[in-house]
Amino acid sequence: MKREKIADILRASEIGKTVLVKGWVRAFRSNRFIQVNDGSTIKNIQAVVDFENFDEAILKRVTTASAVAITGELVESMGAGQAVEIKVTAIEILGDANPDEVQKTVMQPKKHSLEFLREQAHLRFRTNTFGAVFRIRHAVSFAIHKYFNDKGFNYLHTPIITGSDAEGAGEMFRVSTLDAQNPPLNDEGKVDFSQDFFSKPVNLTVSGQLEAELAALALGQVYTFGPTFRAENSNTSRHLAEFWMIEPEVAFNDLKDNMDLTEDFLKYICQYILDNCADDLQFLNDREEKEQQSKPKLERNELTLIERLKFVTENDFIRLTYTEAIDVLRNSKPFKKKKFKYDVAWGVDLHSEHERYLVEKKYKCPVILTDYPAEIKAFYMRQNDDGKTVAAMDVLFPGIGEIVGGSQREERLDILKKKFADFDIPEEDLDWYIDTRKFGTVPHAGFGLGFERMVMFVTGMTNIRDVIPFPRTPGNASF
C-alpha cells in the first residue's frame, strides 16, 4: 500500500477509503487519539484506536515524537476539532522515542520560548511554529524565482568566493588553505598569499551586485539569489553573518523603474504567501495575537500579521527624497521636543530612530527614500544632476527597517573614474567592472533584498535567527 501525505488526505477527504499515513506523533490522548503530523501541512490527522482490542505493547511505544505508520479507514469524526479521522486497523512503530529523552527537548506538547527552541535548531522543525515558518520560507523563495522567471529574468550564479575586496559592503571572511599556525611569509615578513590556493587573498562574497551588472549589460535582466557573508560583529535581531540575498539588475532601467520593480516585486511576494500559505499564515497570525495580549497596549501591533500583508499589497508605498525626509523629520514633534538621540541635518545619514518615525509613526506604510547625499552612499551609485546627491533608494518596512537597498548605477565612465578616486579605490582592483562602461555602456539599475528580512515580515517573527534553519552569528555556528 502506498503512503499518502496528510495534506492530500485532508484535501480529498474521501470517506470510506483505506489510507496509510507515515509521520511523527504529536500527542497521544486518552489512550485513544493519536495526533500525527508528517510535515506536509501544519494540520495533524487524528488516528482513533480501539485500545480495548489492540496490542498493548504497540500502544506503549506510541509516544510523543515517535515515528509511526498507521493504516485505517477514513471516517467522519465524532469529535468537534476535525472533520475526518482515521479508524485505525494497524500501527507500525517506525522509530521509537524515549519519553525521558523527549522531555529534555522541545518536542513536548507544551509551549516553549523561542530562545529554548533556538538552542535545539535541529529539532525545532518538529514544532508548529517552525514548521509554518520554514514552509513559508520555501514559498517565499519559490515566489521570488517565479516572479523573475515570469518576467523573463535570468537567474545568475555569482561567485561565493570572491577575489575583489573593494565592494565596500562590510567586513569579509577570508578563505584560505594556508596553515593558520605557520603561514608562509614573504620577504617583508608578511603572509605570502601567492602560495595560497588562489595565489592571492580571497574572501566570501558580501554582494553579487558588481558581477550581476556585467551580466545585466548583456542578458538585459538578471537576478542573483545566493548566500552572502558579513564578518561584522553585529549582535541584533536583524543581522546574520550568513544570510541570503536577492539582487536583480536591469539594463536600461532608471531609478523610477527600479522603484516600480521593487514595489511590484514585494507586493507579489506578499500576495503569493496570502494565496498559497493560508493555514501556516493563519497559525502564525493567531500565535502572534495571543502573544500580543500579554504586552502593554502601547507595544502591540495595530494590525495583525495577515492585515499587514494585505496592507502592503493594497497600498502604494510612500516615496520621498532624502531631502524631503530631512524636512519632514525637522518639522516632526520628536525633533522639536528633542526626543531624537541623534541630530537630523542634511548630509548626515538617518538613524534607526528616524527611519522608524517615518515608517511606523508618520506614514504607517512602507517608505521608499531616494536621492541620498553622495558621501554617505556607495561609489557605484549614479550621480544626480544637482552634483550633490546620488540615485539611491532604501525601502523601509515597519518593524524590519531597511529591507531593500538599491540604486541606479553610474554608467558614465568619466564620472565613475572620478568616484573611484574620491573613494580611494584603486582602479586596477575593479578594472573588469570599469570595462563595462567602455563597451556600449547604458543606464541600469538594481537592488538587494535581504531574504531573511522578507521572511521575517511575512511570518511576523521578530528575531532573524528564527527564520533561517541554522543561524550563524558572532560566536555561534552550531549544527
Nearest distance from residue 474's CB to RNA, in Å? 7
Q: How far is the C-alpha of 22 from the C-alpha of 69, rounded, in Å?
A: 4
In whole angstroms, how far apart are CA 232 and each of 171, 239, 286, 473?
Answer: 6, 9, 35, 9
> CB-wise, 65 or 216, nearer to RNA?
65
Q: Do residues 283 and 128 touch, judged by C-beta distance below 8 A?
A: yes
> CB-wise, 182 or 235, nearer to RNA?
235
Q: How far is the C-alpha of 144 from the C-alpha of 356, rounded, in Å?
A: 27
Q: How far is the C-alpha of 43 from the C-alpha of 391, rounded, in Å?
A: 48
Nearest distance from residue 14's CB to RNA, in Å? 18
Beta-bridge mates of residue 90: 71
Nearest distance from residue 243's CB to RNA, in Å? 4
Q: Do residues 199 and 223 touch, judged by C-beta distance below 8 A?
A: no
Beta-bridge mates of residue 20: 71
Q: Do residues 3 and 21 touch, judged by C-beta distance below 8 A?
A: yes
Helix (H) or strand (E) holding 25: strand 18-29
> CB-wise, 268 or 380, nearer to RNA?
380
- Burial of residue 422 (number of CB atoms within 10 Å: 0-12, 13-18, 19+): exposed
> CB-wise, 232 or 327, nearer to RNA?
232
Nearest distance from residue 105's CB to RNA, in Å? 7
| Closest alpha carbon to 21 in 67, 79, 84, 83 | 67
Nearest distance from residue 279's CB to RNA, in Å? 15
Q: Do residues 274 and 463 touch, judged by C-beta distance below 8 A?
A: no
> CB-wise, 211 or 452, nearer to RNA?
452
Nearest distance from residue 337's CB to RNA, in Å? 18
> CB-wise, 196 or 459, nearer to RNA?
459
> CB-wise, 193 or 447, nearer to RNA?
447
Beta-bridge mates of residue 383: 390
If you write DSSP's letter for every residue of 452-479 in order, what string do you get?
HHHHHHHH--SSGGGSSSS--BTTB---
Nearest distance from residue 179's CB to RNA, in Å? 26
Q: Do residues 84 and 15 touch, judged by C-beta distance below 8 A?
A: yes
Nearest distance from residue 78's CB to RNA, in Å? 4
> CB-wise, 196 or 389, nearer to RNA?
389
